[in-house]
Chain A
């Protein structure tokens, strides 16, 4: 279970997250939509302290961190129950596809090498990249790199997976295969928090959609409500713009 209370982040004077409250049930798939610069990425990045919030309490599984007095060990613990998929993949360029997935398992989770390797190969098979196990990221297409990125996050066995616009940096031809893989991840009732501009995908995959603007969650509901009967004027305007 994920529980966020009063999450607040400023860069300088400007508030970017304005006291966010959010609960996510186990296995729930939540999609965040909203205009550019409204704090969607910042929300995800505050959940694993890539950006350090000034205030708020975050509970993920059995780890609770209060931003007001977060210690290094708390932050590591929080990161160890989340996995993140980045817009620019963030694959380790000095490691092969297989090693990218193994790295957290051996270095962080301290699994034996052989076991980690087995798990990495199994994940690569699920992502359809079994034949790329020994390829370095530089030798993979954007779509393949992002599938490794998703595989790396899947392998962690994390309570919560965070996706920050995982298809935005991709050539259109690779978007489909990455979305397909995310659907497969969703099917296992993995708890997911996804920022995306792919509205059709959001409609299809989300149990709940959050519309953010100005550092706040302005409207929240099932896709049928958000896309079919939007309440807030700002959401209606946003949908008109993106859906044309």
Chain B
């Protein structure tokens, strides 16, 4: 067994850190889009629009039922063969699209559960004062559902950050890709990937702390 090359690792940290913004960009963009799509899917699941509902159920089932890596390969390598206009899409865009679709399916389920958790009498009260469905959802139901679903949604964000490492397989030079290239020159694979692991770990720890604070804050909401 050889000793860890700590100097090499320390030197590598700033290099890999330089790719953190790309990771956060992919996860951040994916999160925003997945939240919007997830909320729309959830509202549809609650409203059960005829025919559309069938497609939404299928969508959610597919994206929860297959691995993210398989979905990314299907989109990036598979789809362009069928729809040639998609060949223009670069790896980062494909990764964001894949993360969005994959996580929106999960988020739809937790948002839906939070929506139906808002007690019946509030739905009826909103209707009784003459609110439209949209006003009721937007002003009464979703704000409450968001608070219930928030901790779970932060978990999905954490999963998504880790999921961005799969963009490497689409040829994107993100943290993994950068470490791989560095290690190809130095042959210090263990050190290089350990640096990547530690940086992911630190990011996730920071988010977990934020999540705890968010939960305490949310538990106090609406009591005064």
Contact A76 B125 (CB under 8 A): no
Interface residue ranges of B129-151 to A (CB < 8 Å): 129-132, 135, 139-140, 143-144, 147
Interface residue ranges of A81-113 to B (CB < 8 Å): 82-84, 86, 88-96, 103-104, 107-108
**B72 to nearest A CB, angstroms?**
38
Compute how far the CA of A134 lies from the CA of B160 in the bound complex, rounded to whole angstroms. 39
Q: Which of A1-9, A135-143, A226-234 lies at the interface with chain B? A: A135-143
Q: Which residues of A contact B125 (CB under 8 A)?
A: 84, 86, 90-92, 149, 152
Contact B143 A76 (CB under 8 A): no
Compute how far the CA of A94 lies from the CA of B145 in the bound complex, rounded to whole angstroms. 10
Contact B223 A86 (CB under 8 A): no
Contact A79 B132 (CB under 8 A): no
Q: Which residues of A contact B121 (CB under 8 A)?
A: 86, 88-90
Q: Is B126 located at the chain interface by the 8 A CB criterion? A: yes
Q: Which residues of B contact A104 (CB under 8 A)?
A: 129-131
Q: Is A156 located at the chain interface by the 8 A CB criterion? A: yes
Which residue of chain A lies nearest to B133 when distances are taken between CB atoms in the complex? A72
Compute how far the CA of A18 lies from the CA of B224 in the bound complex, rounded to whole angstroms. 46
Contact B129 A156 (CB under 8 A): yes
Q: Is B55 located at the chain interface by the 8 A CB criterion? A: no
Compute how far the CA of A17 lies from the CA of B130 in the bound complex, rounded to whole angstroms. 24
Contact B128 A79 (CB under 8 A): yes
Contact A50 B224 (CB under 8 A): no
> In the complex, which of the residues B124, B143, B147 contacts A50, with contact meaning CB atoms closer than 8 Å?
B124
Contact A136 B129 (CB under 8 A): no
Q: Which residues of B contact A50 (CB under 8 A)?
A: 124, 127-128
Q: What number of A residues sit within 8 Å (CB to CB) of B?
A: 31
Contact B122 A90 (CB under 8 A): yes
Q: Which residues of A contact B223 (CB under 8 A)?
A: 136, 138-139
Q: Which residues of A contact B135 (CB under 8 A)?
A: 107-108
Q: Which residues of B contact A137 (CB under 8 A)?
A: 222
Compute how far the CA of A219 lies from the CA of B85 in the bound complex, rounded to whole angstroms. 74
Contact A79 B140 (CB under 8 A): no
Compute how far the CA of A89 lies from the CA of B125 in the bound complex, rounded to whole angstroms. 8
**A138 to nearest B CB, angstroms?**
5
Q: Is A80 located at the chain interface by the 8 A CB criterion? A: yes
Contact A136 B143 (CB under 8 A): no
Contact B130 A135 (CB under 8 A): no
Compute how far the CA of A106 lies from the CA of B118 in the bound complex, rounded to whole angstroms. 22
Q: Which residues of A contact B130 (CB under 8 A)?
A: 76, 79-80, 104, 108
Q: Is A127 located at the chain interface by the 8 A CB criterion? A: no
Contact B131 A82 (CB under 8 A): no
**B158 to nearest A CB, angstroms?**
26
Which residue of chain A lies nearest to B144 when distances are taken between CB atoms in the complex? A94
Compute how far the CA of A50 lies from the CA of B121 in the bound complex, rounded to whole angstroms. 11
| A50-B124, A88-B121, A139-B223 known; A93-B131 Cβ under 8 A | no
Which residue of chain B lies nearest to A108 when distances are taken between CB atoms in the complex? B130
Q: Is A48 located at the chain interface by the 8 A CB criterion? A: yes
| A93-B122, A93-B144 known; A136-B127 Cβ under 8 A | no
Q: Which residues of A contact B147 (CB under 8 A)?
A: 94
Contact B143 A83 (CB under 8 A): no
Which residue of chain B lies nearest to A93 when distances are taken between CB atoms in the complex? B222
| A86-B121, A90-B121, A93-B144 known; A103-B129 Cβ under 8 A | yes
Could you list which residues of chain A lie within 8 angstroms of chain B, going by C-beta atoms? 48, 50, 76, 79-80, 82-84, 86, 88-96, 103-104, 107-108, 134-139, 149, 152, 156
A-B contact pairs, 13 of them (CB 8 A): A50-B128, A76-B132, A83-B128, A83-B129, A84-B128, A86-B128, A94-B143, A103-B129, A103-B139, A104-B130, A108-B135, A136-B222, A136-B224
